[in-house]
Amino acid sequence: MTTDFEALRRRFPVLERKTYLNSGSYCALADTVRDAVNNYMDDRLAVGANWDVWITKNESVRALMAQLLGVTSDEVAITASASAGINALASALDFSGTRNKVVVSDFEFPTNAQIWHAQERRGARVVHVPRAADGYIPLEHFERTIDEHTLLVAVTHVCFRNGARLDIPGIVKIAHARGARVLLDTYQAIGALQVDARALGVDFIVGGMLKYLLGTAGIGFLYVRDRWIRELVPTHSGWFAQQNIAAMDIFANRPSESARRFEAGTPAVVNCYAAEAGLKIVLEADPRQIEARVRALTRYCLRQLIDIGWSAVTPLDDARRGPMVAVPARNTAELFEHLTAADIVTSFRDNNIRVTCHFYNTESDIDRFVAELERLRGQFAPETP
């Protein structure tokens, strides 16, 4: 069945007023997500502490997230953020032996490097995989860095700076052959790209709900492959990480036998309402069809930019690209303000304006963005060497 993306687009009211190309920072708000938050408020007014419903919402988010990843619910922890998930995992790892190396790439979001550098006080040795001359990080660079001392390879799926997509199956193959485990940060991918945990072969996945998963901030997830759950005991914990939440036991730590052991305190209740609604939209739209549409939109954007002589730094190769197109410019902050004033919502990092596409975008959105760039070329286009 073919997804009706035009009908889905109408469920995002902001698109009536804005050219919204900013899902990589914060998604457009859907009608059902807004309604879900309002429903929480109605429940609070009508019932007060509606505890049973709150727990049900948290478990619903877990089940929907498991469905999206193609895993079991017992392998998914619902966390306060991607950072919380990474910290919980880090707290469960032992860096005291000779296998104490953590490999990260130079494409990482700060969280997925800073947390591992923070483990250096516990014995971790953090090594970065550098870019090549063309700005990409080829598989050979990982081949040279991952060795028999590597405990974990912690890498992003898609770089938040330039939109480049790493060869995750290739990285996993190298890491597993050398006895290392792989943590994948999917924040700039999941919801716009299909993320099948089993097919990718990764051991851990983190992400959050405020970008392409169409939810809100303050809620994330951690996938832990079933074979590792009981072996890893986090010291970053809390009462919702316990086997029996209702036990209220203050004399021992008895972690859940599921990935819930990587959770902490009371769930972010209102955020569960929003995340549940957002995940339902993504699953309704079909992740495979979403990926195909987003790939086509980013390809169209890259070609339109080439036509006006203002090329992106994002790879042209579909296999090396996520849902982002990063456009180099002079005075990016000022260009961002001009675009915002024209009701074109983007973001910027470094010297790049970021266009991040989702299924609710159209070629007309891209055309409007590119036309505005062409109009502002003299003021903001990069200087030719």
Residues 6+ apart with CB under 8 A from 92: 232, 233, 234, 235, 236, 262
Overall average pLDDT of the 37-56 stretch: 86
Residues 6+ apart with CB under 8 A from 238: 263, 264, 265
pLDDT computed for residue 50 by the predictor: 79
Q: Domain check: are 37 and 110 in the same one? A: yes
Structural domain count, the chain: 2
Q: Domain check: are 341 and 198 in the same one? A: no
Identify the domain boundary among 234, 268, 283. Answer: 283
Identify the domain boundary among 283, 318, 342. Answer: 283
User: What is the residue range of 245's domain?
Assistant: 33-283
CATH of the domain at 145: 3.40.640.10
Q: What average pLDDT is seen over the chain? A: 96
Q: CB neighbours (10 Å) of residue 176?
A: 16
Predicted structure pTM score: 0.96
pLDDT computed for residue 265 by the predictor: 92
- Rounded (10°) angle between helices 287-307 and 269-285: 80
Q: Domain check: are 18 and 122 in the same one? A: no
**Is residue 385 in a domain?**
no
CATH of the domain at 12: 3.90.1150.10
Q: Which segment of 42-56, 117-131, 303-317 scores lowest on mean pLDDT?
A: 42-56
Q: Looking at the predicted structure, is the pLDDT value of residue 149 above 70?
A: yes
Identify the domain boundary among 283, 302, 335. Answer: 283
**Paired tokens of 111:** 């969280």
Q: Looking at the predicted structure, is the pLDDT value of residue 30 above 70?
A: yes
pLDDT in tens, 198-247: 999 999 999 999 999 999 999 999 999 999 999 999 999 999 999 999 89
pLDDT computed for residue 54 by the predictor: 81
Q: Looking at the predicted structure, is the pLDDT value of residue 305 above 80?
A: yes
